[in-house]
Structure 1
Amino acid sequence: MDRSVIDGVKPYHAELTAIRRDIHAHPEMGMEEVRTAALVAAKLREWGIEVTEGVGRTGVVGTVKGKFAGQRAIGLRADMDALAIPEATGLPYASRNPGVMHACGHDGHTAMLLGAARYLAEHRDFAGTVHLIFQPAEEGRGGARAMLADGLFERFPCDAVYGLHNKPNLPAGRFATRTGPALAAADRWAVTFRGTGGHGGSTPHLATDVTVVQAHFVLALQTIIGRNVPAVEAAVLSVGAIAGGSFDSPNVMPAELRLAGTARSYSRAVRDLLERRIRELATTFAQAHGCAAEVEYRRGVPALVNHEEQTAVAVAAAEALVGAEAVDANAAPVTGGEDFALMLEAKPGAFMFIGGGAGPDGRSPELHTPHFDFNDAIIPLGVAWWVGVVQQELGLQRQG
């Protein structure tokens, strides 16, 4: 194990932990990261790093140039936003913003990239340029898209871009990634069924019943996965919300009923198939029961596809740090979505998972749960991986 960078980070591990916990205590939703962005920019300036604020509204980009000649540039990206989840950790640094918490570890991602920024600013022994991309609004509010629309890669040219995310069910000291599709396209759909409604007790035979339509539709959704999606492909369809009628008037058959859910896929063909079949099933069942259907299908982030050359770089950086036995270079794809996928459509790059392990109490709550907290013990390891990527990409050995 190469511990040189980890040892170099030790003197300010406590400061990075304090920064992480300060961000955790003051979570901000996507496109509202005013305090977090200001903190990031202030720290970067404190360490002598060139800073650009307001990229994609609340995004921040720091730029560090190596002390050796080199034309190549790479981007290192971390996300800063929190989630609309009430925190239940009971920690001294728990969220002070009711109903909002850092339940996905973006506070830790920001702290690790800040640590890498400081280390790179103090040890500029590379050739070329590193752009440190602190992105807002990863959690569904369009942060990557906003930064790209604001000319991210035109203003800060990158030959490759990398991302890092904690994974609580992966032991600390381990890394995981894969070449090709690694995370799923994340889409939302909604269907509104409309009928006549009616009296459910005296004249149900005179009504068109949207509750029966939705029942058939929900059951039929899973036939898309079982009978339309090829067995060698993967996809997920889930219903997350159903609303119609009133519990105060259960004898009234509703005239309108709405459902909504999520769709996940890895290939463009399967993504198209899911949208088409949802529309077909909703329309067909509605017509069969004398009702009408209105279908909305909103495409979110595309599948995150790691590029082969950059995945090899990401793996090499991890292996140099923890050894090949602690790096899974062919990890199973994850059906979660991640808007870093948009940056990987614009530039070659790779996304890596770092093991979150267990916290001080031995527990490892999952992401997006009220009890989640980032494990501060892995901060130096994350910093070291970032620095390792820079060494792999811009190190003097590569420059020849």
Structure 2
Amino acid sequence: MTPDKDLIAAATAWRRDFHRYPELLFDVDRTAARVADLLRSFGCDQIATCIGRSGVVAVIRGGTAPASRTIGIRADMDALPILETTGLPYASATKERMHACGHDGHMAILLGAVKHLASTRAFSGTVVAIFQPAEEGGCGAKVMLEDGLFERFGIEEVYALHNMPGMDVGTFALSSGVMLAASDRFDIKILGKGGHAARPHETIDPISVANHVISALQTIVSRSVDPIDPVVLSVTSIHAGDAYNVIPSAVVLKGTARTLSETNRDKIENRVQAIATSVAKVFGAEAEIEYRRGYPPTVNHPVQARILGDAAVRVAGDAGVERDNAPIMAAEDFSYMLNARPGAFIFIGNGMTASLHHPEYDFNDNALPIGIALWVDLVTGGTFNNVDV
């Protein structure tokens, strides 16, 4: 399926409208309302709003028999708290908010596919289009699941895509296993004894202790985990004191740990706790640690990865699809959906653009027809309808 010029033009207009009016996390009122209005205009069989607080769901039933499975296809809706510097005519109209991750494009792609599928009905089974809020740190996927998303709409399999700068437009990449990492956060508060900078011997300097804690934390990756099972641990914030002549009484460290396996996830948490506590104790200080689990690893199911990969090949050709893509250490809350149902996640090329989460990033509109074709082919292609699972 190659989208016609009118559908491409419409998808481009939707995408740029979303881009101009970015919204954050669950507070996507305008975006969700616009999505719901468009879905109504397409003639979907069922539309539900406020799923998982502000998510939108549309159901499209195929017009051919026999019926096959019910699949979900997800697009994320939220933007980021970033000041846009692209200077584009459709740049963000809201200060310090921007679609810097391409969710505007993801929505436009799914809307384009739904419009085509609703008008043709040339497939069997049922498609559930999922427009999810709060992917950027709000666990929106998890909240939608807790609101009964899969059970309410009978979703048996689930799929999603994400654009990837640095990959050529018209190409795809996925794997049959781990695609993205788990991302966890930690706060470490080092409690010492403050005092005058001229009399350090009367203090327990938490800054000195923090230096040793940070150095020791770096040995977790180099000495505590298998080097062929990637882990990234980063201390990203240090806050202590306000004066030149005062040794503070406390230091607060913040950071993240990213892992591809649950085994390493448990190990990193235990090692952070043990190292911070013991190193602080050596110097007569104390450490208070708060370790928060974030998104789990995003892991494709092999059968569904093959189905999605086959659809991508029909759109882009064998040379345009990487089926054994190495995992990256970013995180994605679609992982919650993949933990609840079989499915797969795929990258779509965005060209040589600025990176994700960069103030000069923009979704490449040339990728819209490629993404629309992927979802349409996934639904209407012989591989999906005839596969024995």
User: TM over 0.5, yes or no?
Assistant: yes
- The one of 6, 22, 29 aligned to 1:27: 22
SS at match of 1:68: coil
When the two structures are superposed, what TM-score results if normalisation uses the length of structure 1? Answer: 0.95
- The one of 48, 60, 73 aligned to 2:70: 73
CA deviation map 1:150-197 (0-9, x unaligned): 000011111210000000110111100011111000111110001111
**What is the letter of the counterpart of residue 282 of structure 1?**
A
1:390 paired residue number: 379
- The one of 205, 209, 213 aligned to 1:209: 205
Say if 1:25 and 1:331 are closer, same or farther in 2 by CA, change over 3 A. Answer: same
Equivalent residues in 2 for 1:328-367, closer than 5 Å: 328-358=322-352, 364-367=353-356
1:117 paired residue number: 114
**What is the letter of the counterpart of residue 153 of structure 1?**
F
Structure 1 unaligned runs (5+)? 359-363
1:38 paired residue number: 33
1:321 paired residue number: 315
The whole-number CA distance in structure 1 between the counterparts of 2:144 and 2:78 is 14
Say if 1:68 and 1:200 are closer, same or farther in 2 by CA, change over 3 A. Answer: same
- The one of 124, 130, 142 aligned to 1:145: 142
1:269 aligns with 2:263: yes
The whole-number CA distance in structure 2 between the counterparts of 1:357 and 1:64 is 32
- The one of 356, 368, 372 aligned to 1:379: 368
The whole-number CA distance in structure 2 between the counterparts of 1:290 and 1:327 is 56
SS at match of 2:57: strand
The whole-number CA distance in structure 1 between the counterparts of 2:384 and 2:178 is 28
SS at match of 1:127: coil
SS at match of 1:53: strand
2:13 paired residue number: 18
1:52 aligns with 2:41: no
The whole-number CA distance in structure 2 between the counterparts of 1:391 and 1:333 is 29
The whole-number CA distance in structure 1 between the counterparts of 2:381 and 2:294 is 32
Question: How far 1:392 moved relative to its partner?
Answer: 3.9
Say if 1:241 and 1:395 are closer, same or farther in 2 by CA, change over 3 A. Answer: closer
Residue correspondences, number = 386
Question: How far 1:394 moved relative to its partner?
Answer: 8.0
Question: How far 1:395 moved relative to its partner?
Answer: 5.8
Question: How far 1:391 moved relative to its partner?
Answer: 2.2
The whole-number CA distance in structure 2 between the counterparts of 1:379 and 1:332 is 24
Equivalent residues in 2 for 1:149-164, closer than 5 Å: 149-164=146-161
The whole-number CA distance in structure 2 between the counterparts of 1:271 and 1:392 is 38
Question: How far 1:102 moved relative to its partner?
Answer: 0.3
The whole-number CA distance in structure 2 between the counterparts of 1:28 and 1:65 is 30
1:236 paired residue number: 232
1:220 paired residue number: 216
Q: More displaced, 11-20 or 34-43?
A: 11-20
- The one of 167, 187, 192 aligned to 1:190: 187
When the two structures are superposed, what TM-score results if normalisation uses the length of structure 2? Answer: 0.97
8 Å CA contact 1:125, 1:395 repeated in 2: no
CA deviation map 1:265-296 (0-9, x unaligned): 01111001110111111001110111110001
8 Å CA contact 2:35, 2:56 repeated in 1: yes
1:369 aligns with 2:358: yes
Question: How far 1:397 moved relative to its partner?
Answer: 4.9
8 Å CA contact 2:307, 2:384 repeated in 1: no
The whole-number CA distance in structure 1 between the counterparts of 2:319 and 2:326 is 17
SS at match of 2:304: helix
Alignment RMSD (CA, Å): 1.2
SS at match of 2:69: strand
**What is the letter of the counterpart of residue 36 of structure 1?**
T
**What is the letter of the counterpart of residue 179 of structure 1?**
S
Provide runs of 4+ in structure 1 moved above 6 Å.
none
2:125 paired residue number: 128
The whole-number CA distance in structure 2 between the counterparts of 1:208 and 1:342 is 44
The whole-number CA distance in structure 1 between the counterparts of 2:123 and 2:231 is 42
**What is the letter of the counterpart of residue 357 of structure 1?**
G
